[in-house]
């Protein structure tokens, strides 16, 4: 199904210099990512997929090339404008959850919302809704120390989701989780893409996730090797696929 | 707005405890340093601050109370002629040598010859009327309670000052001096003890009380300059007290050493406090970086860090003031010269809070490591 392009990279290159050694991480890479679908970038460690993610999301600037997100050329924005862009249009999920130990789930999700200019009541309402959507409604009063790994990642997703971003970036979201929890998380990300029309870009080296994405790009040595759409046999939950391949 | 700074401080108090303790001790050091400096150098002007005179007349250019030369007796007349002055009293200063009953080396004493009348101006705040009454006896002296051991006497014993026998008739407190031991006597006794013949018929200081103390500066100015009375100068009590303290603080080695030490102590406290606070803040770098990735600006993160630094400072200071109060009372009971002034306490509090906030700002620089791109490694 054709989807409109919300994220675009044109001839992006990035190299890192450690001491005297300059190693090219991304080489003249071009890419279009569509809205309303879950795009997976997979590849071995060190292939540059995380760097690509940070450049596409505006966390880093490329050495060469342009990135266009939602029609905005990210290269034209200064640091503060990039922060504002991220605040209003992007969400992030990281491998390490990165939740504040002192806040309960509701507070974790409401925290970034207060910087959007929402009232406290509105922020809490939206936070509660997000947590319900990821299935943590009954556990929103708990702190990270009382939650399992899978639940913590779901709180992180709710935190990214509550801002209602057009772009959602996930870096190795399931690598710290067991198979069951990993499946729950990737299904949530997939559902978000479809029901909210969000552009979800997920970077992973976990091969189990390939079957759950709408589009899979494989990378190696800073270049995209292949770009295909796996045959979608999955229903609303991933259980169908599991049973078929078992 | 979720109270991130406060909630983190409360829930993760163990992480911030080293910083709070560091601030507490840095603050304690500052407060006690200040109390000691005020106490030690305050005793340089105990003759002025323990008395109720508004004006002092003495030799021109006297740097400190204990360094006065004698002036003409007629200066008293000059002062009494002024309508703003209600009373004038002489104050006779004698540098002397003390020999106590036990045979050890000499002790340098400052004899203060004062008018022992019950409503006298000199040492009115340090001596009770009953002690003053006892000074009327011939060759009677009063010393500070804390000096009994260095003088080798008890109340009732006799000793020898400048070759003359005197008797210790009582002890007071608040009489400790800087640079020697204070001995209080009547003017008559002091005259007998003064072996310097150039002082005959002259007096070291005249002190005066005004009808209206607020006029002190104007009256002092008015009284100066009458050349026919020989060299003399008139100062307000406050001015002379400050000059004496400053002399000891800045013009003597002891003062320079104490001030230097106070500066070093502050630097050490500042370094330790800032390092521990930075360590506490850095523990949250990844979470701050995540917030930054989600679009929360660095300025907003800075506010969170500064709020935490402020609370750490405030809690630490609470500890400083509590412990400081206890130690202050302890020092007092052991006759260690300590004094406090509300202005100085407020200054210390502001200094330490400022230190905590500046440390918070330093911790912010480490938040540059909160570059979200590093989260993706």
Domains of chain B: total: 2
Q: Is residue B311 part of a domain?
A: yes
Q: Which chain B residues touch A103 with a CB distance below 8 Å?
A: 2, 4, 7
User: Could you tell me if residue B238 is inside a domain?
Assistant: no
Domain boundary among B148, B174, B193: B193
pTM summary value? 0.77
> How many Å apart are CA A145 and CA A161, to the nearest integer?
22
Give the bridge partners for B236, in sequence order. Answer: B55
Closest CA in chain A for residue B11: A102
Question: How many CB pairs below 8 A link A and B?
Answer: 90
Handedness of CA B367, B368, B370, B375 (dihedral sign): negative
pLDDT at A231: 66
Q: What distance in Å separates the CA atoms of residue B223 and residue B208, rounded to the nearest whole number?
A: 12
Q: Residue B349: give the domain boundaries.
A: 4-43+252-376
- Which of A14, A77, A98, A110 best tests the B interface by mutation, with the highest count of B CBs <10 A? A98
Best to test chain B binding among A88, A100, A124 (most B CBs inside 10 Å): A100
B30 & B103 share domain = no
Contact A130, A110 (CB under 8 A): no
Q: Are residues B271 and B158 in the same domain?
A: no
B297 to A15, A106, B303, B368, B370: CA distances (angstroms): 27, 21, 10, 12, 12
For residues B37 and B111, state if they share a domain: no
Look at residue B80 in the predicted model and tell me its pLDDT: 92
Residue B316 vs residue B274, higher pLDDT = B316
Beta-strand ranges (E) seen in B187-337 are 202-203, 205-210, 233-236
| Contact between chains at B2 and A107 (C-beta distance less than 8 A) | yes
Q: Measured at the alpha carbon of residue B255, what is the angle toward residues B249 and B261, in degrees to the nearest 5?
A: 125
A113 lies within 8 A of chain B by CB: no
**Within a 10 A sphere around the Cβ of B333, how many other Cβ atoms?**
8
Name the closest residue on chain B to residue A108, using Cα atoms: B2
CATH code, domain with A175: 3.40.50.300
Query: Which carries the bigger pLDDT value, residue A246 or residue B113?
Result: B113
Residues on chain A touching B297 (C-beta within 8 angstroms): 80, 83-84, 87, 115
Which residues have C-beta within 8 Å of that of residue A205, sequence separation ≥ 6? Answer: A42, A43, A44, A45, A49, A172, A175
Q: Is residue B21 part of a domain?
A: yes
Which DSSP category does B369 fall into?
G
Q: Does B5 touch chain A (CB under 8 A)?
A: no
pLDDT digits (tens, 9 = 90+) for B199-245: 888 999 999 999 999 989 999 999 987 778 889 999 999 999 999 98
Q: How many Cβ atoms from other residues are within 10 Å of residue B310's Cβ?
A: 15
In a domain, B321, yes or no: yes
B291/A85 Cβ within 8 A: no
Q: Do the beta carbons of residue B66 and residue B41 sit within 8 Å?
A: no
Q: What is the tens place of the pLDDT at every residue in B5-53?
A: 999 999 999 999 999 999 999 899 889 988 988 888 888 889 999 999 9
Per the structure, how many domains does chain A have? 1
Q: What is the DSSP letter of B172?
A: E
Helix, strand, coil shares of chain B, percent, nearest 5, are 55, 15, 25
How far is Cα B155 from Cα B266, in angstroms, rounded to an integer?
43
For residues B258 and B372, state if they share a domain.
Answer: yes
B339 found inside a domain: yes
Asked whether the beta carbons of B114 and B51 are under 8 A apart, the reply is no
Subunit contact B376:A171, Cβ cutoff 8 A = yes
Distance CA A161, CA A136 (A): 13
Q: Which residue of B has its CA nearest to A55?
A: B373
| Predicted local confidence at residue A16, as pLDDT | 85
By Cβ distance, the residue of B7, B293, B377 closest to A92 is B293
Residue range(s) defining the domain that contains residue A58: 5-245
| pLDDT grade for B371, boundaries at 50, 70 and 90 | low
Q: Cβ B287–A87 below 8 Å, yes or no?
A: no
Q: Find where tokens 């080695």 sit.
A: B253
* Residues in B touching A99 (Cβ below 8 Å): 287
Residue A13 CA to residue A28 CA, distance in Å, equals: 5
Answer yes or no: are the C-beta atoms of B107 and B98 closer than 8 Å: yes
Which pLDDT score is estimated for A232? 54
pLDDT in tens, chain A (246 residues): 445 788 999 999 988 888 888 888 888 889 999 888 899 999 887 778 888 998 998 888 899 999 999 988 998 999 889 989 999 999 999 988 889 999 999 999 999 998 888 899 999 999 999 999 999 999 999 999 999 999 999 999 999 999 999 999 999 998 888 888 888 999 999 999 999 999 999 998 888 888 888 999 998 888 888 988 886 544 454 444 443 333
Contact B293 A101 (CB under 8 A): no
Tell me, yes or no, whether B104 and B28 share the same domain: no
pLDDT of residue A3: 58
pLDDT in tens, B150-195: 888 899 999 999 989 999 999 988 888 887 899 999 999 999 999 8
- C-alpha to C-alpha distance for A188 and A134, rounded to whole angstroms: 7
* Residues 56-95 of chain A whose Cβ lies under 8 A from any Cβ of chain B: 57, 59-60, 80, 83-88, 90-92, 94
Q: Which of A88, A102, A121, A153 to mutate to test the interface with B (most CBs of B within 10 A)?
A: A102
Residue at a domain's end among B159, B176, B193: B193
Q: Is B351 inside a domain boundary?
A: yes
B277 band by pLDDT with thresholds 50, 70 and 90: confident
Is B10 within 8 Å of A50 when comparing Cβ atoms? no
Looking at residue B76, what is its pLDDT? 92
**Same domain as B134, residue B35:** no
Residue among B2, B10, B12 minimizing CB distance to A111: B2
| String of DSSP letters for chain A | ----EEEEEEEEEEEEEETTEEEEEEEEEEEEEETTSEEEEE--TTSSHHHHHHHHTTSS--SEEEEEETTEEGGG--HHHHHHHHHHHEEEE-TT----TTS-HHHHHHHHHHTTT--HHHHHHHHHHHHHHTT-GGGTT--GGGS-HHHHHHHHHHHHHTT--SEEEEESTTTTS-HHHHHHHHHHHHHHHHHH--EEEEEE--GGGGGG-SEEEEEETTEEEEEE-------SSTHHHHHHH-
- Distance, in Å, from the CA atom of B210 to the CA atom of B196, rounded to the nearest integer, reads 32
What does chain A come to in residues? Answer: 246
B residues 285..324 contacting A (CB < 8 A): 286-287, 289-298, 300
Enclosing H/E stretch for B349: helix B342-366
* Residue B144: strand pairing partners: B172
Q: CB under 8 Å to B205, separation ≥6 — which residues?
A: B56, B57, B58, B68, B71, B90, B91, B93
Q: Which helix (H) or strand (E) holds B65?
A: none
Q: Do A103 and B7 touch (CB under 8 A)?
A: yes
B281 in the same domain as B370: yes
B296 contacts A110? CB cut-off 8 A: no
Q: Which residue of B has its CA nearest to A60?
A: B373
| Distance, CA of B210 to CA of B306 (rounded, Å) | 52
Instruction: Name the domain boundary from B125, B159, B193.
Output: B193
pLDDT tens-digit map of B306-356: 898 999 999 999 999 999 999 999 998 887 888 888 998 999 899 889 888
Is residue B282 scored above 70 in pLDDT? yes
Whether residue B214 is contained in a domain is answered as no
Q: Does B368 touch chain A (CB under 8 A)?
A: no
């Amino acid at each position: 199904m054709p989807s409109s392009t919300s994220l675009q990279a044109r001839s992006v290159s990035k190299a890192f210099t450690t001491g005297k050694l300059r190693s090219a991480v991304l080489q003249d890479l071009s890419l279009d990512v569509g809205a309303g679908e879950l795009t997976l970038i997979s590849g071995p460690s060190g292939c540059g997929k995380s760097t690509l993610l940070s450049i596409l999301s505006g966390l880093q600037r490329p050495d060469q090339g342009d990135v266009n997100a939602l029609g905005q050329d990210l290269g034209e924005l200064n640091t503060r404008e990039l922060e504002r862009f991220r605040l209003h249009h992007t969400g992030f999920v990281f491998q390490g959850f990165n939740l504040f130990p002192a806040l309960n789930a509701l507070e974790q999700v409401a925290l970034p919302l207060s910087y959007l200019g929402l009232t406290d009541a509105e922020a809490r309402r939206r936070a509660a809704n997000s947590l319900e959507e990821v299935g943590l409604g009954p556990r929103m009063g708990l702190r990270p120390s009382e939650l399992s790994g899978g639940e913590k990642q779901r709180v992180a997703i709710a935190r990214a989701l509550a801002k209602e971003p057009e772009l959602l970036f996930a870096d190795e979201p399931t690598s710290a989780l067991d198979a069951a929890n990993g499946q729950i998380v990737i299904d949530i990300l997939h559902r978000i893409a479809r029901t909210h029309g969000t552009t979800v870009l997920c970077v992973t080296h976990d091969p189990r996730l390939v079957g759950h994405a709408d589009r899979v790009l494989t990378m190696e040595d800073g270049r995209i090797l292949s770009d295909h759409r796996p045959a979608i046999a999955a229903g609303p939950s991933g259980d169908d696929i599991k049973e078929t391949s078992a | 707005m979720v109270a991130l700074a406060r909630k983190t401080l409360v829930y993760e108090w163990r992480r911030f405890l080293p910083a709070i303790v560091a601030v507490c001790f840095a603050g304690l050091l500052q407060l006690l340093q200040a109390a000691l400096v005020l106490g030690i150098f305050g005793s340089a002007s105990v003759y002025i601050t323990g008395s109720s005179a508004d004006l002092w007349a003495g030799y021109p250019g006297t740097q400190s109370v204990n360094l006065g030369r004698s002036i003409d007796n007629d200066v008293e007349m000059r002062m009494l002629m002024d309508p703003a002055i209600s009373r004038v009293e002489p104050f006779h200063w004698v540098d002397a040598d003390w020999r106590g009953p036990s045979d050890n080396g000499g002790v340098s004493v400052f004899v203060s010859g004062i008018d022992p009348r019950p409503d006298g101006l000199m040492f009115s705040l340090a001596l009770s009327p009953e002690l003053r009454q006892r000074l009327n006896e011939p060759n009677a002296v009063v010393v500070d309670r804390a000096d009994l051991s260095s003088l080798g006497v008890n109340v009732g014993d006799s000793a020898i000052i400048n070759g003359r026998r005197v008797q210790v008739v009582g002890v007071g407190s608040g009489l400790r001096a800087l640079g020697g031991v204070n001995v209080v006597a009547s003017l008559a006794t002091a005259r007998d003890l003064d072996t310097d013949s150039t002082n005959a018929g002259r007096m070291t200081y005249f002190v005066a009380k005004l009808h209206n103390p607020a006029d002190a500066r104007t009256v002092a100015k008015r009284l100066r300059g009458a050349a026919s009375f020989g060299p003399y100068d008139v100062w307000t009590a406050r001015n002379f007290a400050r000059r004496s303290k400053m002399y000891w603080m800045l013009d003597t080695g002891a003062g320079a050493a104490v001030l230097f030490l106070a500066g070093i102590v502050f630097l050490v406290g500042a370094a330790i406090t800032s390092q521990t606070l930075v360590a506490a803040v850095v523990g949250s770098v990844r979470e701050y970086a995540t917030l930054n990735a989600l679009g929360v600006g660095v300025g907003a993160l800075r506010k969170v860090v500064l709020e935490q630094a402020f609370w750490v400072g405030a809690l630490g200071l609470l500890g400083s003031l509590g412990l400081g109060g206890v130690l202050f009372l302890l020092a007092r009971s052991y006759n260690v010269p300590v004094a406090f002034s509300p202005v100085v306490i407020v200054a210390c509090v502001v200094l330490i809070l400022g230190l905590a906030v500046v440390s918070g700002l330093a911790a912010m620089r480490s938040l540059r490591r909160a570059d979200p791109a590093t989260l993706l490694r």
